[in-house]
Amino acid sequence: MGDGRPVTRREFLAVTAGSLLLADTALAQTPGPAARPWYARMRRCGQLNLNERDPLTLAVGPWIDYWESLRVDALLLNGGGIVAFYPTAIPYHHKSEFLGSRDLFGELVAASRRRRIRVVARMDCNYAYEDALRARPEWFERNRDGSPRPHGESPWLFKTCMFGPYFTSQMAAIYREIAGRYDVDGFFTNGWPSTGALEVCYCENCQKMYRDDVGGVPPDQTDATNPIYRKYYDVYMRRIADVWRGWQAVVAEKRPDMVYVGNLGGGIQTVKNVAALGEVALWFNADHQGRSGDTPIWACAQQGRVAQAVMKGRTITNVTGAYSNSRVTWRHVAKPAVETTMWMAQTVATGMVPWFHWLGGAPEDERWKETGRRFFTWLAKNEPHFWNTRSIADVAVLYPQRTIAFYRSGTGAGSWRGGERAQTTEYLQGVYFALLEGRFVFDFVHEDDLGVDTLARYRVLVLPNAAYLSERHCEQIRRYVAGGGSLVATFETSRYDEWGDPRSGFALGDVLGVTATGPAVGPGRNSYMRIEQRNAITDGFTGTALLPAAETRVPIRATSADAPVLTVVPGYPAFPPEMVFARTPRTDEPAAVFRQQGASRIAYFAGDVDRTLWRSGSEDLSQLLQNAIRWARGAEPPPVTVDGEGMVEIVAWETEPGYALHLLNYNNPNMTRAFMTRLSRIGAQQVAFQVAPGRAIRSVRTLRDNRSLSFIQRERIVRFEVPSIDDYEVAALT
């Protein structure tokens, strides 16, 4: 290796095989508390992201003082990759041109260690300089015409290829050099592998791989209708796993608890399979630093739920950018403290570890410092209440990974229903919105994790247009229902296999109790659902015979002869007003089907009511989804109810000392448009919290407000009032 010849996967594995075993063993076991590696007990991390010029002026002492004041367990500090912040001896590992005689990384590591702060070397494997491009052309990505790929803003840097020896040889050499010289605890690679779309490169290594392993050149865009893309997806995911495990093995040569952590994230919008990434990751870092544009504030909590679904209690961090990562980006000024704090609050509410991030060693804006310090010191003071043992939610939402990654409507690449790619997440967003409005306590489950062990504790599984499901997924859902579980499903759920090949009908048609009678109809407007029965599903709709219909629906027939609860009123012109009357005011086509099968309750909506809710903000569609989930969940008291004003996200955990109820106050004019700038206090929240049988609660405290609350416990239910919430509150029951 390193002689310019492409490195095969076999060779890479051979090099690292000895220690690979170690990484695999570490993954296979769920260690007890004593055996937990250091990062599993980490609660707070910070990152000072150096720039090349920092060695000229950076004062190490004050920076470490700052991070120590945040009570961080670990610091992310720039080691190398694009730029080395230490006197490296590795050829083509570009030393900061301002380094002089300094060893800035070494100084920072030593100062951190003196304060007992762990250090993770922050690396970047994605770009290198032109001298490397000349000497090691096989390290770099290529365009179709063979030209290298310069960075968009810093065109003196060139993109490296993960299928080439830069990843296997050069990065491994750099890790070994740093691990050999410095007392570090781990390595993190910025920007790799990410959860976004696959890259397509035309370097020699990749062309060979296309010929030998893929059977052709993959398309430049995500297109799961293309058999070559499907093959490439598998090869690509396998390469990520190989590189990840290989790097883990390399860093563990020095010390077995030394960890490699990749860069993941993406919130709910992922293309790479996060369940597969969760299998190789000892530590899942979500690089979900903030929101911009019209991303809702709860995007960070969604990230937490996605990561929890695949890590299942293992280490997850989420980066909070203290700088303005808005639609117009400013790297060197702070974003509003309220927004930053709400992001960190969601991070810890969903069981992730916050990682507070600033760029550049000589800030002229220092406002962010106190924002981080205030939150982190509060967190440190209340640390035991953030040691979660399990979620107490009994509602599960399926994270439809493949639908989000690949879903197309109709045939042919790019035929989205109306535009941009984010649309595949809108079904989930709509369900999420209804769950927030309905104040449900819920978890995400990944579609590749639908076994009995995972699903048994949930009363209901919500399938937000899980259109692409494999036979195995469907069989597992069928088994869950046979065991008494309930379902709420929408639209094209199970109409396609896992790669998007359409089925003749619904694979879950037997469970949902429906047959498709044709292809999806829509998108259209001005169509309705007619209320045919007054019951738990249509509760709250007094004063109307019509409800808004979804934009698109699958025409269906119910397999049972039961009278429908909601029927389809087909669309008619919305303009001009003279033409606005129903041509067919009544049909017997069901808009939804509700059925009971043993202990299971099944609700199926033929339309994309979830996505239509997200696009329209329709109160009726939100209420309808809430009614359906509540009905499917059954009459048993929920694990927790919180009644009061405002838009609140609720997360509830069993913790090492007892229970923790997290209440995130989203009731803010900037809830669905960045940024929150001012607090918007909400008033009293009445809580009924169910504890384990026989468990006597002795104290209920609010951790932000720092008050002891009066409470009443009757059998398993503990009742108390949270008087008000500024941004975030945690009620700790012990």
Q: Does 117 bind Zn ion (CB under 5 A)?
A: no
Q: Does 201 bind Zn ion (CB under 5 A)?
A: yes
Going by the DSSP 8-state scheme, the letter that residue 421 receives in this structure is G
Cβ–Cβ < 8 Å for 660, 386: yes
Residue 167 or residue 356: which is nearer to Zn ion going by CB? 167
Could you give the CA distance from residue 156 to residue 172 in angstroms, rounded to a whole number?
A: 23
Least distance (Å) between residue 93 CB and Zn ion: 20
Stretch that binds Zn ion, among 155-163, 629-637, 700-708, 712-720 (CB under 5 A): 155-163
Residue 149 or residue 633: which is nearer to Zn ion going by CB? 149
Stretch that binds Zn ion, among 91-99, 158-166, 409-417, 577-585 (CB under 5 A): 158-166
Going by the DSSP 8-state scheme, the letter that residue 141 receives in this structure is -
From the list 84, 99, 109, 161, which residue makes contact with Zn ion (rule: CB under 5 A)? 161
Least distance (Å) between residue 207 CB and Zn ion: 8
Residue 63 or residue 210: which is nearer to Zn ion going by CB? 210
From the list 206, 297, 337, 393, which residue makes contact with Zn ion (rule: CB under 5 A)? 206
Residue 139 or residue 506: which is nearer to Zn ion going by CB? 139
Stretch that binds Zn ion, among 200-208, 385-393, 447-455, 697-705 (CB under 5 A): 200-208
Stretch that binds Zn ion, among 203-211, 255-263, 617-625, 704-712 (CB under 5 A): 203-211
Cβ–Cβ < 8 Å for 251, 175: yes
Question: β-pairing, 659-665 with 648-655?
Answer: antiparallel
Could you give the CA distance from residue 528 to residue 429 in angstroms, rounded to a whole number?
A: 22
Residue 203 or residue 722: which is nearer to Zn ion going by CB? 203
Least distance (Å) between residue 289 CB and Zn ion: 28
Residue 203 or residue 569: which is nearer to Zn ion going by CB? 203
Least distance (Å) between residue 223 CB and Zn ion: 19
Instruction: Write the CB contacts of 648 (distance below 8 Å, at least 6 apart in sequence).
Output: 436, 439, 642, 663, 664, 665, 666, 667, 682, 685, 725
Could you give the CA distance from residue 159 to residue 282 in angstroms, rounded to a whole number?
A: 27
Residue 104 or residue 171: which is nearer to Zn ion going by CB? 171
3-state secondary structure of 480: helix
Cβ–Cβ < 8 Å for 85, 99: yes
Q: Does 203 bind Zn ion (CB under 5 A)?
A: yes
Residue 240 or residue 731: which is nearer to Zn ion going by CB? 240
Stretch that binds Zn ion, among 94-102, 197-205, 454-462, 550-558 (CB under 5 A): 197-205
> 675: left (phi > 0), else alpha (psi -120 to 50), else beta?
beta
* Helix%, strand%, coil% for the chain, nearest 5: 30, 25, 45
Q: Does 7 bind Zn ion (CB under 5 A)?
A: no
Backbone φ, ψ for residue 143 (5° rounding): -80, 175
Stretch that binds Zn ion, among 42-50, 204-212, 698-706, 711-719 (CB under 5 A): 204-212
Query: In DSSP terms, which residues pair with 263 in a beta bridge?
Result: 193, 285
Residue 201 or residue 224: which is nearer to Zn ion going by CB? 201
Instruction: Pull the structure tokens for residue 125.
Output: 């494997």
Q: Does 337 bind Zn ion (CB under 5 A)?
A: no
The interface with Zn ion within residues 13-32 (CB under 5 A) comprises none
- Stretch (H or E) spanning 243: helix 227-252
Q: Per residue, what are the HEC states of 609-663? A: HHHHHHHHCCHHHHHHHHHHHHHHHCCCCCCEEEEECCCEEEEEEEECCCEEEEE
Footprint of Zn ion (CB under 5 A): 161, 163, 201, 203, 206
